Structure 1
Amino acid sequence: MNLPTMWTLETREYSSAPSDHRRALDGIRGIAILTVFLYDCLKLPPGGPISFVVRKASAAGWVGVDLFFVLSGFLITGILLDSRGKPGYLSSFFARRSLRIFPLYFLSLWITFVLLPQLAEFLPSAGPISERIGLLSTHQVWFWTYLQNWWMAFEGHWPDVNYLNHFWSLAVEEQFYLVWPFLVGWLSLRGLTRLCWACVIGALALRIGLWISGAPSVVMYVTTVTRMDSLALGGLFAIGLRSPVWYARLSRIAVPGMIGLAGLIVGLDAVWPVLKTQTAGAQTIGHTLLGFLFGMLVFSAAAMKPDHLAARLLSQRWLTLPGQFSYAMYVMHRPVHKLVTRADWAVVPSAIQPLAVFVATLALSLVCAALSWKFFERPFLSLKAWFPRPGEKRPASETPGEPAVQAAAATC
């Protein structure tokens, strides 16, 4: 049985179902957040072959952010393509995005910059944390305005107080959300395709130019213009999913393309590291190669039949659960990890302490994200019922919260 047959793709008209939710995409999102956790929260010491493989995988876990970017470009471009030209195109999109993103983000900033310093006045043990937050708070305006990635680039290095370092990617995505709807709405499909290719080539060329000029690696890593290739590649595959010609072509080449690209990336990494963050290989061609690889993965997950073996594997609960809560888990994981590492782990054998810390961080982050969803995010998301996507009708029998729950699970 050849590869394309194994990954039989479903023939359907995607433009007729803009809010269609694929559990396999939740699984992709779960893979992305788990790889981020591996990178940030699993710190194994050198050891035997198993330790070497795990350390290698965790060191490459930063690619989870690239996967998030491709997935965002794919989903957001798809939503916009399915809605453009209809009444409420912009207002619906911005209202729904704001309800999904802003509440938890700004709550996190309020806790960090307002609540914790006040608590430190009553909890002496929180004094050191408050002092470090005080150093970060002198630059908090960058975070409140979603410009922290540019602040880091202007500084030329990562902030010394790293509690919110991971928020740079949230700024990139928010800047993308602010600009992309206008471009998708104004450009023809051919013009949008050309723009996506221009973003891919431009971002790659810009990173190469900055690297040659000796710019700090953080500049290439965090700025929106240098990371647009991942988002634009997601957009290209979203266009391909809705094109009868390209849908058929991509259906034939997606799986062989993924296998070939994965082999190329691994082989290239052996002689010129592209999976080690902020190296020349990763900062130049690495992000682009990963963008193509993840674009094919996301396209395949969206296009395959739900009952296909690969779709069922991606729809396993251990992947879709963290995938559905991935936004809150991403926001919380660094503070949770710092809290977990401050605990006394002396009762745990030293050989497995790093693994225990990782598991505890993952479990606690998942619990906190679930609580955030139930008691904080979900009430806001229920308001999405007042801002349906253009052309989307809510059945009279539905309560306002139901469609919002499904849409939120797909982060649409």
Structure 2
Amino acid sequence: MLPPISPIAYRPALTGLRAVAVWLVVLAHWTRAPFPVGEIGRITFFVLSGYLISGIIWKQQLHPGAPAGWGRRLVTFYQRRGLRILPPYYLALLLGALLPLATLREYPGWFILPVSNLLFYRLHHWGEGVGHYWTMAVDEQFYLVWPFLLGLMGRRIGPLLAVAGSALLFRILWSTWVSPDFVLVLLPSCLDMFAIGAVLRIVEHSPRVQALAQGRWVVLAWAAWAGLWLATHATNAHALWLFVYTTVGSGAAFLTLSWVLHRPAVGQAHGTNFLLSPVLQWVGQRSYGCYLYHLLLPVLYQRVVFRIFPTAETRQFWLSPLPTVLLLLPVLLLLAATSWHWLEAPLNKWKNRLAYAE
């Protein structure tokens, strides 16, 4: 018999983990790192989303087959999600249109809906300064379909693992029969990460999972993931990497989240939990703004550099990774802090007034 879902509570360590994950993505994009360190952040975010959203759906009984009133409660869930995510997102889109960003100006409807992941799949290239929005589109599509999938599967590990396997199968079949280009931006390709997060929500308190919730297993799992990347690229097996890396990474993210959830805030044997540091808590709380604006800034920065500096050598220096990071980091943090103070925090207060019906 499965244990009951534990109460939904604020976990500050997860806020610190968000800070680490979002800056892995930001720095990977700003520095054009050859190793896919940004994928570690993205996979962790998607697994975390599966963990949190599945917990809300089960706890609040928002899925078909739940007690009477599940439809009204599901509407409340969508209202809360929309209020938290969409206004800051649309503000970022407006700023991008004013910049202007060519892809956003040419295809505005794909971003407004938002289905930008389908646009990038159709175009087979990333838009200038908007390429990261595909993950937000996938996340919002996940919110729409996941309550209904959980209603079909119930709170059972086997069907969830089958969903994870189906994502791997989808990537293989779609790449073979249709096209391998940009297959990873389609929602079915990402379901393994969300499903593994849901599995963690079920088994997080089991003794076996608690035994694995140790830092050495986290390091070993991500080292194995990195070794897979090295082996597939050294042997020119890039297709194999694209097929399996999110599934393998989901396992590493599963262990990472298990370790974070079971790590004590303060303990004599473990010391202070670094994820609870004031800096990471501050950044993690503002991680959404960091993610929203992090690809807009390099576009603006590049235009300024080309306007100010006439020679190629000077431009090359200022657009190299170190000056880019040093100059854009405080600007991004300021933008994220402004977004949080004037928009996100007030919206969160409104969101919290939307209570689920009994």
Report 1:223-262 matches (<5 A): 223-241=186-204, 247-255=206-214, 257-262=217-222
Q: Is it true that 1:42 corresponds to 2:31 in the alignment? A: yes
2:159 to 195, 201, 223: 195
| Counterparts in 2 of 1:189 and 1:204: CA distance versus 1, 3 Å | same
Q: Please tell me whether the aligned partners of residues 128 and 299 of structure 2 are also in contact (alpha carbons under 8 angstroms).
A: no
TM-score by length of 1: 0.74
Paired amino acid for 1:340: Y
Counterparts of 1:304 and 1:182 in 2: how far apart (Å)? 33
1:17 to 7, 29, 32: 7
Q: Please tell me whether the aligned partners of residues 33 and 322 of structure 1 are also in contact (alpha carbons under 8 angstroms).
A: no
Classify the secondary structure of the residue corresponding to 2:114: coil
> Following TM superposition, by how much is the alpha carbon of 1:92 offset from its aligned partner in structure 2, in angstroms?
3.0
* Match of residue 407 from structure 1: none
* Match of residue 53 from structure 2: 76
Classify the secondary structure of the residue corresponding to 2:249: helix
Q: Is it true that 1:152 corresponds to 2:120 in the alignment? A: yes
* Match of residue 174 from structure 1: 140
Q: Is it true that 1:112 corresponds to 2:99 in the alignment? A: no
Q: Please tell me whether the aligned partners of residues 24 and 315 of structure 1 are also in contact (alpha carbons under 8 angstroms).
A: yes
Counterparts of 2:143 and 2:39 in 1: how far apart (Å)? 22
* Match of residue 233 from structure 2: 273
Point out where structure 2 has 5 or more consecutive residues left out of the alignment.
none
Paired amino acid for 1:158: H
* Match of residue 302 from structure 1: 261
Counterparts of 1:223 and 1:381 in 2: how far apart (Å)? 29
1:183 to 124, 129, 149: 149
Report 1:78-157 matches (<5 A): 78-84=55-61, 85=66, 89-113=73-97, 116=98, 130=100, 133=102, 136-155=104-123, 157=124
Q: Please tell me whether the aligned partners of residues 318 and 324 of structure 2 are also in contact (alpha carbons under 8 angstroms).
A: no
Counterparts of 2:245 and 2:320 in 1: how far apart (Å)? 32
2:341 to 349, 363, 374: 374
> Following TM superposition, by how much is the alpha carbon of 1:154 offset from its aligned partner in structure 2, in angstroms?
2.5
Q: Please tell me whether the aligned partners of residues 238 and 299 of structure 1 are also in contact (alpha carbons under 8 angstroms).
A: no
* Match of residue 341 from structure 1: 302
Counterparts of 1:137 and 1:75 in 2: how far apart (Å)? 34
Paired amino acid for 2:208: R
> Following TM superposition, by how much is the alpha carbon of 1:321 offset from its aligned partner in structure 2, in angstroms?
2.3
Point out where structure 1 has 5 or more consecutive residues left out of the alignment.
1-12, 44-54, 117-128, 392-412
Paired amino acid for 1:78: G
Counterparts of 2:240 and 2:51 in 1: how far apart (Å)? 25
Counterparts of 1:332 and 1:14 in 2: how far apart (Å)? 39
> Following TM superposition, by how much is the alpha carbon of 1:298 offset from its aligned partner in structure 2, in angstroms?
1.0
TM-score by length of 2: 0.84
> Following TM superposition, by how much is the alpha carbon of 1:259 offset from its aligned partner in structure 2, in angstroms?
3.9
Counterparts of 1:303 and 1:390 in 2: how far apart (Å)? 31
Q: Please tell me whether the aligned partners of residues 83 and 390 of structure 1 are also in contact (alpha carbons under 8 angstroms).
A: no
1:62 to 33, 36, 39: 39
Paired amino acid for 1:140: P
1:228-262 deviation line (CA, Å, top 9, x unaligned): 11111111111112xx5xx2111112335434422
Counterparts of 1:349 and 1:153 in 2: how far apart (Å)? 31
Q: Please tell me whether the aligned partners of residues 70 and 230 of structure 1 are also in contact (alpha carbons under 8 angstroms).
A: yes
1:210 to 164, 168, 174: 174
Counterparts of 2:318 and 2:129 in 1: how far apart (Å)? 27
Paired amino acid for 1:210: W
Paired amino acid for 1:162: E
* Match of residue 252 from structure 2: 293
| Counterparts in 2 of 1:229 and 1:212: CA distance versus 1, 3 Å | same
* Match of residue 224 from structure 2: 264
1:30 to 16, 19, 44: 19
1:60-99 deviation line (CA, Å, top 9, x unaligned): 3233211111111111111222221576531332221111
- Between the two proteins, the alignment pairs up a number of residues equal to 339
